[in-house]
Chains A and B, each alone.
Chain A
């Protein structure tokens, strides 16, 4: 699949693969993430969120769909480029994009630069914050909080450099693969696939 980012010189190429056939829009991910990471109790503050997309088909019949969103941990991350202090950075070893709170001055440039609205400002900590691909959890061998809780088992996480990983297999089996806003040149690491329809 030529769509997959290849970071040949990195140990791991971490990615999230979301199976569209299996997202039921229950928002369990939103709540699991907020409780694990003490995300501020505000509507505007979240690291992941499911959008309900209402539309019409060619016959004028209504359709609905669900779009789970989170930080795309882009290989060409605009948030990292605009950060004046280096607080926003991309890990060499696995491609995860993080914000180091000690270095963040709260200028919010990254929030505006991010084409995915993946970041929020934590008023109390006075720093920008975002999804870490649950690095603290995965560093201890756990799955990300959203993947663990996902009721429809729609979310999958793993290393694309490993051909035997769940995510590699899913991308191989997918009938369609999409990433958000590819035209921005961000090279995102969140994949949306269908495996049936």
Chain B
């Protein structure tokens, strides 16, 4: 279970010590047990000392959020990580993952030297080599592929602070196929919808002003359970200040803990619910017309468009009764503009994701929640003119993933790419051969969208897999050459600059020297580049970038940054609309686009999926006896860098399969039964059973497991084969506008173990 129910009394019984359980049992114990006067005198003295150790500034790398970290080191060993109080990402707190970062650095399972594969792919047999040998190996293997197929035969997957370096290496070689899974495997559809509506994405550090909100309407974003510190803190703070919370999800997640309403809707019907809310708001004239008149484009079209989406209609689609839909919509509008409608972060769900988030964006627009406290704050740039860095010319070759002008996904951003598209191109070798992968902190075998059979087939098409990582993930085990990266506690990185409510710069300095024969991504990529004569793109090291920054800051600013690890720029306006500052939105019309004219052309060509105002389409449904496969994060293990972390695995090391009592009864299963999952499309059966968790917390017709488990890596002494990997049971759909993945149309059968 997620929080194991082992009672420590049970543990005592196992240990056979219950006999000592009563005071009566202790009478007649021999006198030597009496403490000496000396002992009595010293009693407790040890508890009055605490050596905090040497401080060094850092920011967290256990997930993408990059909280500020104060690292404390005693006698050359890191003793404790604490949240940096001044860093706006976390205000002094760290989550379970962040606290456990220390374990990842001292993990004996780490990659300890450069390696070259000696056994079969995936067998996990490698030989230790020197850095020079490893660099030469890359050149020896990659150069012939480039000569034969062009540089675009290399596809690079990146996740983490060291991204600029594999990015530079790939660009310098001449391949456009750089992909950041955070787009198409995660936020892509959300960002696309926000950009089409407001002219800017939500961004990786969400701009929802929950701490001051009067009503948070959250569509399946697990604020409490997915835990990005500032967000989770603001969520808790908003609730404790009395904010209402409407939480919308087929599963009752951690975020329901203080919900005013939990709407357990039918999976895939979020858009119908949002359209129902919009209908009520428009029909009853509840929109914030001051904002709409001044800033919105397409209000009358929207009224016309949503006439058919009555509460009764929405009720049929969602399973939420019409009265509740009306009540919640009215309630939400009552507190406008200090309300916020929040889309999911990982919006890779039913294939209508961009349109679903469009409707959520429209809800915010109608409330006028943009640029006001409790709504959506506006990000500000760090007010410093950073000199433009020189980059190689952008490669001329077309991308392999259908991204770019005139391609299938013209709206998707080329700098991020479609990771799902790169998988497909590798599998089909179309539009041209992809023969090499460079992986930086990414794990396609565990986190992909094309299913177990296909991802292994895709891998078989590759002549070279290069991995830069700290740990032996599933895909690192399949790699041909492995470069061990120093962890974030052992290396410098370039200054961290974040555009935000309060923009800031943060520093990362190594707290300790690398424990093993590892390097930072900069040095690794420079080493590879040198073999190709491209080292000129790697002139300034991360450490030197800190020095460069010092020339752009005042002496006082640099001293603050060095002392505090973070430099905040407070003289900014996060609430321009509330302050009466006229705003021009960076959309085509300069307005908030309730109607998106950018979609007109595609709408004419391809129909309803591209409707300039969201149109509802029923989701693909499971057949009789099938269940929809849903998944989501845990507060501890769901990020790649913590999935073999002993402390985090103490908190959870399995993936109970959630099922509704009605479904369990139909199948004749009870709570705690051991069951397998079978993917009804591919026939794949889980390698082992998991326990069934029978609970009303999951909607009928669906099953749910946590993300981040079921790894296949014999080098992982703790995380290997713990739980089930959802990857093998999800769908390989694509959202037609964003090109991002759609995972939630995968269907499974549940069978007895």
A residues near B (Cβ < 8 Å) are: 19, 21-28, 30-32, 34-36, 41-44, 49-52, 54, 56, 60-66, 81-82, 84-87, 89, 91, 98, 100-103, 105, 107-109, 111-113, 117, 119-121, 132, 135-137, 139-140, 142, 145, 148-154, 195-197
Identity of the chain A residue whose Cβ is nearest the Cβ of B40 in the assembled complex = A86
Task: Please name the residue on chain B nearest to A117 by beta carbon.
Answer: B8
Residues of B within 8 A of A56 (CB): 696
15 more A-B residue pairs beyond the given contacts A43-B6, A86-B43, with a C-beta to C-beta distance below 8 A: A24-B227, A26-B225, A27-B651, A28-B94, A30-B651, A31-B96, A44-B11, A60-B696, A84-B29, A85-B34, A85-B35, A86-B34, A135-B48, A148-B92, A149-B82
**Chain A: minimal CB distance from B604 (Å):** 46
* Chain A binder among B13-21, B139-147, B367-375: B13-21
Q: List 9 A-B contacts (CB under 8 A).
A: A21-B236, A24-B254, A24-B635, A26-B225, A32-B94, A82-B26, A107-B20, A111-B12, A149-B83
Closest to A93 in B: B44
Least Cβ distance of B573 to chain A in Å? 26
Judged by a CB distance under 8 angstroms, whether B258 is at the interface is yes
* B47 in contact with A24 (CB, 8 Å): no
B555 is an interface residue with CB less than 8 A from chain A: no
A-B contact count (CB 8 A): 211
Given A31-B99, A102-B42, CB of A26 within 8 Å of CB of B239: no
Within 8 Å by CB of A22, from B18, B23, B98, B239, lies: B239
Name the residue among A24, A63, A107, A152 with the largest chain B CB count within 10 angstroms.
A24
Give every chain B residue within 8 A of A66 (Cβ-Cβ). 254, 257
Nearest residue, chain A, Cβ from B697: A62
- Convert B220-244 into 0s and 1s, putting 1 for each residue whose CB lies closer than 8 angstroms to a CB of A: 0001110101001101110111100
- Closest residue of B by beta carbon distance from A78: B23
Bitwise, B86-105 to A at CB < 8 A (1) or not (0) is 00000011111011101100
Q: A28-B98, A54-B697, A103-B39 are in contact. Are A43 and B4 (CB under 8 A)?
A: yes
Q: Which of A27, A64, A109 has a CB less than 8 Å from the CB of B26?
A: A109
Which residues of chain B are within 8 angstroms of A142 by Cβ–Cβ distance? 50, 52
Residue among A44, A102, A152 with max Cβ neighbours from chain B (10 Å): A152
Q: CB distance A21 to B240 under 8 Å?
A: yes
Say which residue of A25, A81, A195 sits within 8 Å of B257 (CB atoms).
A25
Contact B254 A64 (CB under 8 A): yes
Shortest CB-to-CB span from A14 to chain B, Å, is 13
Please tell me if B256 contacts chain A, counting CB pairs below 8 Å.
yes
Min Cβ gap A150→B in Å is 6
Q: Does B646 contact A (CB under 8 A)?
A: yes
A145 to B8, CA, bound (A): 23
Decide yes or no: A153 and B43 within 8 Å by CB, A61-B696, A107-B26, A112-B20 being known contacts.
Answer: no
CB distance from A156 to the nearest CB of B (A): 12
**Do the beta carbons of A65 and B650 come within 8 Å of each other?**
no
Distance A41 CA – B650 CA, assembled complex (angstroms): 8
Q: Which residue of B lies closest to A86 (CB)?
A: B35
Smallest Cβ distance from B256 to chain A, in angstroms? 6
**Are B696 and A62 within 8 A (Cβ)?**
yes
Please determine whether B233 and A151 come into contact, CB atoms closer than 8 angstroms: yes
Given A32-B94, A85-B35, A117-B8, check contact A42 B236 (CB 8 Å). no
Q: Which residues of chain A come closer than 8 Å to B9, judged between CB atoms?
A: 112, 117
A24 engages B224 (CB within 8 Å): yes
B745 an interface residue at 8 Å Cβ cutoff?
A: no
Q: Check if B2 is an interface residue, CB within 8 A of chain A.
A: yes
Task: Please tell me if B202 contacts chain A, counting CB pairs below 8 Å.
Answer: no
Q: Is the CB of A64 within 8 A of B257?
A: yes
Q: A165–B569 Cα gap in the complex (Å)?
A: 31
B262-301 vs A, Cβ < 8 Å mask (1 yes, 0 no): 1000000000000000000000000000000000000000
Which residues on A sit within 8 Å (CB–CB) of B98?
A: 28
Contact B3 A151 (CB under 8 A): no
Is the C-beta of B49 less than 8 angstroms from some C-beta in chain A?
yes
Q: For B695, list chain A residues within 8 Å (CB).
A: 54, 62
* Complex Cα spacing A116 to B216, Å: 36
The answer, yes or no, to whether B384 is at the interface (CB within 8 Å) is no
Name the B residues within 8 Å of A91 (CB-CB): 44
Contact A150 B26 (CB under 8 A): no
Q: Which 8 A-B pairs have the closest CB atoms?
A: A152-B236, A24-B224, A136-B50, A31-B99, A112-B21, A62-B696, A26-B635, A22-B236
Which residues from B are CB-within-8-Å of A63? 256
Q: How far is the CB of B176 from chain A (nearest CB, A)?
A: 40
0 or 1 for each of B115-151: is its CB under 8 Å from A? (1 = yes): 0000000000000000000000000000000000000
Q: Write out the residue numbers on chain A whose beta carbons fall within 8 Å of the beta carbon of B646.
A: 41
B691–chain A nearest beta-carbon distance, Å = 15
Most buried by A among B43, B81, B256: B43
Q: B696 to A50, Cβ gap below 8 A?
A: no
- Given known A32-B94, A81-B23, contact A196–B252 (CB-CB < 8 A): no
Bound Cα distance A62, B229 (Å): 27
- Residues of chain B lying within 8 A (CB to CB) of residue A64: 252, 254, 256-257, 697
Q: Is B581 an interface residue (CB 8 A)?
A: no
| Assembled-state Cα–Cα distance A107/B224 (Å) | 40
Contacting residue for B47 out of A25, A103, A135, A149, CB 8 A: A135
Assembly CA distance A87 to B62 (angstroms): 39
Chain A residues near B40 (CB, 8 Å)? 86
Smallest beta-carbon distance A11→chain B, Å: 15
A149 to chain B, nearest CB (A): 5
Chain A positions within 8 Å of B42 at CB level = 102
B29/A27 in contact, CB under 8 A: no
Of A32, A61, A101, A113, which is in contact with the most chain B CB atoms at under 10 Å from its CB? A32
Contact (Cβ within 8 A) B12 A149: no
Q: Are B232 and A140 in contact (CB under 8 A)?
A: no
B112 at the A interface (CB under 8 A): no
The interface residues of chain A lying within 8 Å CB-to-CB of B95 are 26, 28, 151
Q: Shortest distance in angstroms between A76's beta carbon and chain B's nearest beta carbon?
A: 14
CA–CA, A42 to B647, complex, Å? 9
Which residues on B sit within 8 Å (CB–CB) of A89?
43-44
- Contact partners of B650 in chain A: CB under 8 A: 41-43
Q: Are B47 and A35 in contact (CB under 8 A)?
A: no
Specify which chain B residues have a CB less than 8 angstroms from the CB of A148 in the assembled complex.
82-83, 92-93
> In whole Å, how far is A27's beta carbon from the nearest beta carbon of chain B?
4
> Once the chains bind, are B8 and A120 in contact (CB under 8 Å)?
yes
Any A CB within 8 A of the CB of B80: yes
- Cβ contacts under 8 Å, A30 to chain B: 96, 651
B23 CB, nearest partner CB in chain A, Å: 5
Once the chains are docked, how many angstroms separate the CA of A145 from the CA of B48? 15
Chain B residues within an 8 Å CB radius of A44: 6, 8, 11
A137 (CB) vs chain B CBs: closest residue: B50
Is A149 a contact partner of B20 (Cβ separation < 8 A)? Answer: no
Would you give the shortest CB distance from B374 to chain A, in whole angstroms?
16
Partner of B3, one of A51, A84, A86, A117: A51
Point out the residues of chain B lying under 8 angstroms from A28, CB to CB: 93-96, 98-99
Of all chain B residues, the one with the shortest Cβ separation from A102 is B39
B21 neighbours in A (Cβ, 8 Å) = 109, 112-113
Complex contact B224–A26 (CB within 8 A): yes
Q: Report the minimum CB–CB distance from B415 to chain A (whole Å).
A: 32
- Residue pair B232, A151 in contact (C-beta under 8 Å): yes
Within the complex, the shortest CB–CB distance from B736 to chain A, in Å, comes to: 36
A105 to B225: give the CA distance in the assembly, Å: 41
- Chain A residue with Cβ nearest B8: A117
User: Closest chain B residue to A108 by CB distance?
Assistant: B17
Q: How far is the CB of B253 from chain A (nearest CB, A)?
A: 9
Report how far A120 CA is from B92 CA in the complex, Å. 29
CB distance from B213 to the nearest CB of A (A): 14
Q: Report B-chain residues with C-beta under 8 Å of the C-beta of A86.
A: 34-35, 40, 43
Contact in complex: A196, B241 (CB < 8 Å): yes
B35 contacts which chain A residues (CB < 8 A)?
85-87, 103
Query: Once the chains are docked, how many angstroms separate the CA of A55 from the CA of B470?
Result: 41
Q: Is B624 an interface residue (CB 8 A)?
A: no
CB distance from A111 to the nearest CB of B (A): 6
Which residues in B have their C-beta under 8 angstroms from that of A107? Answer: 20, 26
B648 within 8 A of A: yes
